[in-house]
Amino acid sequence: MSPHLISCYITGNVILQTPLYVYEGDDITIRCHLRPGYNGGLTMWYKENRVIRGWTDYAEYLIRKVDSNTAGTYKCEKDVGPYGGKYYDQSSISVEELFTTPTIKVWGHQVEGGNMTLTCETNIPPPRRNTQLQVTFYREGWIVRRSGVSDIYEVYNVQLEHSGKYSCEVKTTDGRVRKRSAERVIQIEDNMGYTRQNIIRLTLSGCVIIAAALLVFYHING
């Protein structure tokens, strides 16, 4: 995992230190410091002004496997000095998508005996372009190609039974972040039906050409 850049927000005598960039699946640590020259003991942690950890000796707060629910405004409060003065600082944390929800696409003619290629497409932001992802393909909820680095699933000599609802799942190699595409309905046509459709298309195309030629002929000789 790439090291996090740090931003500091200073209010009074306390510094709340938070990551500048946070992505789904990260483990992050936020830290509550006192400005130089001050001594402090216990720390209390808040999110959206609700206590998430009571008074503690720990000046760090660890959040594992962050997701969209992690986003929000955090605050730390410190008991400063011998007279019990309390100071705080706060900062907002936003969580970016590690990769977008995948989309499944199909290429080639879905005809009995032909070949069909499915792709599972997602986007990774440039700062995390080195993230390793694994892809799994499903038909009717059953795995048809187990998790692998390739985002392509090829089916040769397709048959009618290959028809169904296809989807794909993309996940990180540690499984922390996983997202599944919407289902795509694929209907394999039988050869006879496909041949009939081609004949109809050719016939219609021929009729259009003949009609156009007749219109030109009558226009010239009219």
Q: Residue 145 in contact with residue 138, Cβ under 8 Å?
A: no
- Quick one: CATH architecture of 6-93? Sandwich (2.60)
Confidence tier at 96 by pLDDT (50, 70, 90): very high
**Phi, psi of 220, rounded to the nearest 5 degrees:** -70, -40
Query: Which CATH number among 3.50.50.60, 3.90.226.10, 3.90.230.10, 2.60.40.10 corresponds to the domain 103-192?
Result: 2.60.40.10
E strand residue ranges, 20-115: 28-34, 40-47, 50-56, 60-63, 72-80, 85-93, 103-107
Integer Cα distance of 210 and 16 in angstroms: 79
Integer Cα distance of 98 and 66 in angstroms: 11
Type and span of the H or E element at 192: helix 191-221
Q: What is the DSSP letter of 111?
A: B
**What is this structure's pTM?**
0.74
* Residue 26 CA, distance from chain mean position: 14
pLDDT tens digits, 134-167: 999 999 999 999 999 999 999 999 999 999 999 9
Indicate the domain borders of the chain: 6-93, 103-192
